[in-house]
Structure 1
Amino acid sequence: MAIDTRTEPPATDPTQGPWLLLIYRVPNESSGARVAVWRQLKRLGGFYVQQAVCVLPDRGELREKLSRIRERIDELGGSSVFLTLADVEEDARVQFVEGLRGQSAKEYAEIVEECETKFFKEIEFERYRDNYTFEEAEEIRQDLEKLKRWLHKVEARDWMSADGKELARQKVAECERMLEEFEADVYERTDGEAG
């Protein structure tokens, strides 16, 4: 089951391919295994053309990760076929590009929503409650760090330059500014005693 893991320079236009295609099957009696494989492929940014048929842009690091996923599929008693597609018809290419873009755009929108409906509201609520404590500021800081890690992961797998990246970055930066203001207020109200 050797996969060619050479690293080739990416094409000047990633929307033109080449593409990595993984077709796999995991035994039906193991829904947990199917979900685990699906989750791993989604973390890579894989776009499902149909059930158990996943496409990714051809990148050396993705080839290596697909090799490990295929090993896991084998361990689960499943099977897989891996193909490199250099010449695909235009309809398929458009489907791949738009599918990958759509996935990333959706994730950017979810980050924006998380900022607006949870993070902003959390700080507003703590201000309303007059809850200016170091512990609360620290808890909110952890939420900000999660948002930053999430944004970084989405950007890392956004090979097709999806819409929404700049807005997501702006909202995360706004979260950081709001938290810094809240932390400054906590500091002032506690005379700088952190804890």
Structure 2
Amino acid sequence: MVISYRVPAEPSTVRVKIWRMLKSIGALYIQQSVCILPLTMETQKTAVQLQSLVNDNHGEVQSLQVEQFESSTEAQLIALFSEQRAVEYQEFLNGCSTFKQEIQTETELGKFTFHEVEENEAELVRLKRWYRKIWKRDFFQSEHARISQTELEECEIALSNFTQRVYQAEGHTEGELV
């Protein structure tokens, strides 16, 4: 699907909202205000929402469903989509590394408290949500998805081990009412 839009310069919040909407579903910008997306139920739904938003703000939008690209163009587009996801997955992997380093530091400092467990649980939830968002827009199943999934599982294991150490330090068994 190719989407092209034009909206008035002011208010700029409309352009930002459109940009965020399209980026959140993995749009690949090929020119200013022209992007491309694989044709899925979600991209079609977003195209309808975008149409309403643009029309409500006195703009223009065209949504084109493309049956097939020239094979070299298709290969280029897939490579560009994959590059976008690679950047996102690398940022995610950095987040996982920071998470595991934080747990290691807390372990080395002996900060075995329930407060630390709660903080780390919240961070793990954030990492899981982040991974799902990237994975959802990974239309062409990047090799980075598998690596990122493995890293996320390692974060879960690190937190589980840390949580067990906290329960031991507090003289409880995990799951026991405190």
Whether TM-score is above 0.5 comes out as yes
Q: Deviation per CA, 1:42-86, whole angstroms, max 9, x where unpaired? A: 111111111111100111232112101221122222221111111
Q: Name 2:30's counterpart in structure 1.
A: 49
- Structure 1 stretch 45-54 or stretch 147-156: which is displaced more? 147-156
**Which ranges of structure 2 fall in alignment gaps of 5 or more residues?**
none
Matched, 1:176 2:160: no
The alignment of Structure 1 onto Structure 2 pairs a total of residues equal to 175
Output the CA distance in 2 between the equivalents of 1:91 and 1:27.
Answer: 35
Matched, 1:147 2:127: yes
Q: Name 1:15's counterpart in structure 2.
A: none
- Structure 1 stretch 74-83 or stretch 40-49: which is displaced more? 74-83
Output the CA distance in 2 between the equivalents of 1:194 and 1:175.
Answer: 25
Q: Name 2:21's counterpart in structure 1.
A: 40
Q: Deviation per CA, 1:81-117, whole angstroms, max 9, x where unpaired? A: 111111322343223211111112221111111111x
Give me the identity figure in percent: 32
**Which ranges of structure 1 fall in alignment gaps of 5 or more residues?**
1-19
Q: Name 1:71's counterpart in structure 2.
A: 52
Deviation (angstroms), 1:194: 7.2
Q: Name 1:127's counterpart in structure 2.
A: 107
Q: Deviation per CA, 1:125-149, whole angstroms, max 9, x where unpaired? A: 2223322111110110111111111
Structure 1 counterpart SS, 2:143: coil
The one-letter amino acid of 1:154's match is I
More helix by share: 2
The one-letter amino acid of 2:4's match is I
The one-letter amino acid of 1:98's match is A
Q: Name 1:167's counterpart in structure 2.
A: 147
The alpha-carbon distance between structure 1 residues 28 and 91, as it changes in their structure 2 partners (threshold 3 A), is: farther
Output the CA distance in 2 between the equivalents of 1:75 and 1:128.
Answer: 56
The one-letter amino acid of 2:147's match is L
Output the CA distance in 1 between the equivalents of 2:164 and 2:64.
Answer: 55
Structure 2 counterpart SS, 1:28: coil
Q: Deviation per CA, 1:127-185, whole angstroms, max 9, x where unpaired? A: 23322111110110111111111111211221112121111011111101100010001
Q: Name 1:115's counterpart in structure 2.
A: 96
Equivalent pair of 1:187/1:194 in contact (CA under 8 Å): no
Structure 1 counterpart SS, 2:65: strand
Runs of 4 or more above 3 Å deviation: none
The one-letter amino acid of 1:160's match is F
Q: Name 1:189's counterpart in structure 2.
A: 169
The alignment yields a C-alpha RMSD, in angstroms, of 1.7
